[in-house]
Amino acid sequence: MYGLRKLDDDEPTLDGSPLSRALDFLRVQFDADPNGIALTKTKEFRRALVADAIIKIQWPDWTEREIYRGFMPVKIADEYHFEPFLILHHILLDRKLIRHYRGRLRLSKVGAALFASRFNTFDVVAQELIFQTHYFEMSRMRGDIIGTWDIWLNVIDSEARHGISGKALTEVLYGPWEGDGPFDPRNSALYDGVFKPLVWAGLLDENMELGRKLSERVYTVTPLWQRYLKLDPKPSSLRVVH
């Protein structure tokens, strides 16, 4: 089984969450101007704000280095180039925490009440990001990764305490890959539907020092994972990176 703990607004482990830092960034923008955040004509964040967000949030895999000097570099970033920020914008709209009004982005009454608490904002948006948003749900619906969050979270809790590769974690869940070729689609589906939202929420750390391939990335539970999630008790054990 799994559950979620209530944390204080000044909980230090929230600082390690990219999602929490993004919400903190938006909170500062809303506090700075009661009329809301100025948008483009197409109702996206303006480029100057996106550039500031990229620098201040430091979202793993979406920093200045990856966006401006990465595989497909851009000179000026739009909201589209900062995918996590784009998805966060849509999640806040879907939850009716924000609204577009006369070229600006404003907090709704529900959103204003929620943003008054740092943890409550993170809690609501993290649950939407991890468990509900369609951006990741479709990947979890693939037949190759049949399972539930109860299974995924408890297996990750047991296996990723000291680091485990995406390939090894996939095989712990579903056994060795016996299909044609070296590519394991189960690893890709797990990454898109399970690992990525957990990394974005700050519950999993993703290390790419051994390689950027999904099978080579190493995952380790973070201090926020241990503080925020309530999972089945696990026996202590010594593990090494697979």
Return the residue matching tokens 């979890």: 140
Using one digit for the tens of pLDDT, what is the confidence trace for 146-202? 999 999 999 999 999 999 999 999 999 999 998 888 889 999 999 999 999 999 999
DSSP string, 95-140: TTSEEEETTEEEE-HHHHHHHTSHHHHHHHHHHIIIII-HHHHHHH
Using one digit for the tens of pLDDT, what is the confidence trace for 3-34? 999 999 999 999 999 999 999 999 999 999 98
Q: How far, in Å, are 59, 94, 136, 168 from residue 186 at the CA level? A: 25, 29, 14, 12
Q: What share of the chain is helix, strand, coil (3-state, %, to 5)?
A: 50, 10, 35
pLDDT at 112 over 80: yes
Average pLDDT, the chain: 93
Q: How far is CA 145 from its chain centroid?
A: 19
Using one digit for the tens of pLDDT, what is the confidence trace for 67-97? 999 888 899 999 999 999 999 999 999 999 9
Q: Phi first, then psi: what are they for 2, rounded to 5°?
A: -145, 155
Go through the domains of the chain in sequence order and give each one's CATH number.
2-132 (no CATH), 136-231 (1.10.10)
Two structure tokens written together for 10: 């000044």
What count of other Cβ atoms lies within 10 Å of the Cβ of residue 46?
Answer: 14
